[in-house]
Amino acid sequence: MSGADIRQAAVIGTGVIGASWAALFLARGLEVTAWDPAPDAEATLRHRVAACWPVLEAVGLAPGATPERLRVHASPEAAVAEAGFVQENGPERLDLKRDLFARLDHAAPPETVLASSSSTLAASDFQEGCATPGRVLLGHPFNPPHLVPLVEVVGGRRTEPWAVDRAMAFYAALGKHPIRLRREAPGHVANRLQAALWQEAFHLVRSGVADVADIDAAIAHGPGLRWALLGPFLNLHLSGGEGGIGALLGKPIWQATEAVWRDLGTVAVDDGLGQQVAAGVAAELAGRDEAALVAARDAALLGLLRLKAAAEQLP
C-alpha cells in the first residue's frame, strides 16, 4: 500500500490539533476512526469538525466527503485496528507517548505508519517501546492542520525509509506540503525559526525599541508578506540583485547583517515582561472583535492559499 492509496485514517487524541486533522481527513474523502480519553470526546470532536467544515467546503471537498464517515471508538486499539495511517495528537508527555505508542504498535496493521504530531518530542524518544519501531515517525503540522499546508516529517533513530516515504506520499495526497527533515532537532524546523523571531520580538519590547503593536506591524506589513510567498533563502536571493545570494554573501551589506546578528538579544520572559506584552496585545486588540479577527485571518489565508496554488513558480 502506498501513502496515496490509504482510505482509512485513525486520529488518536482529538483536541484542537487532532480535531483539525480529523476534519481534513474527512474532507479528503477518508474514513476516520478516532479515540480520546475525555468523557465528552465524541461530542466535542463532532462540534469541532462541524466548525472546520465551511472553510473546507470553500477549499473544495473530495467526492463523497462527509462528516458521517467519522467513527469514535472506546479504545485506541479499536480505533487503529483497521487504519491505513495513524495520526497521534496526545499531550507532550514522554511517559504517555511511550505507553500509547506501544499500544498502537500492538494493535495497528503491520504496514500502517504511526505518526505523531508532537511539537517538542522526538520519535526516537518513544519508539523504543514498540515491537516494530521502524514505522514510528513525526508528522508535525502547523496549526491549524486542516488549513495550513506544512507538515514536517522526520523519523527517529530506528525509523525505516519506507515509513517516511509512505508518510510523505500520504500527506501530499491530502494536498499538504510535507518536508523531509534529515535529522531530529528540538522544535523541528518551523518552530525553531518562529522561536528565533519571538525571542527578538520580546527583546525589542523589553529594551524599549518599539511597542507590541508596532512590532506586529513590522512583520505583518513588511517581511511577513514576502515570507508568505518565498522562504528566507529565496527572499535573500532575490534581494541580492544580479548574481543573487552568491554575490550578496561577503559583501559589506551582508557584513552589516552579521553585525546585527551579534546585537540580537537573549531574553527570559519573566512576569514583568509577560505582563507588558499582554498589555500591549490588549491595547492592540482594543475596539476589535477577536472572533471577527480570526474569521478575517482565515478568509485572507484561504485567499492567499488559492493564489499560491495558482502561482506555479512559487515554491
List the grid coordinates of 140. Answer: 508535525
Q: How many Cβ atoms sit within 10 Å of the Cβ of residue 178? A: 21
The amino acid present at 227, given as its one-letter code, is W
Strand order in the sheet with 136-141: 70-72, 31-35, 8-12, 85-88, 113-116, 136-141, 150-155, 177-180
Per residue of the chain (315 residues), give pLDDT as tens: 566 799 999 999 999 999 999 999 999 999 999 999 999 999 999 999 999 999 999 999 999 999 999 999 999 999 999 999 999 999 999 999 999 999 999 999 999 999 999 999 999 999 999 999 999 999 999 999 999 999 999 999 999 999 999 999 999 999 999 999 999 999 999 999 999 999 999 999 999 999 999 999 999 999 999 999 999 999 999 988 888 999 888 888 899 999 999 999 999 999 999 999 999 999 999 999 999 998 899 899 999 999 998 999 998
Structurally, what CATH architecture does the domain formed by 3-180 represent?
Answer: 3-Layer(aba) Sandwich (3.40)
Tell me, what's the pLDDT at 139?
98
By CB neighbour count within 10 A (0-12 exposed, 13-18 middle, 19+ buried), where does 99 fall? middle
The ranges assigned to domains in the chain are 3-180, 191-310
By CB neighbour count within 10 A (0-12 exposed, 13-18 middle, 19+ buried), where does 67 fall? middle
CA terminus-to-terminus distance, the chain: 28
Determine if the pTM surpasses 0.95: no
Beta-bridge mates of residue 116: 88, 138
Tell me, what's the pLDDT at 2?
66
Structurally, what CATH architecture does the domain formed by 191-310 represent?
Answer: Orthogonal Bundle (1.10)
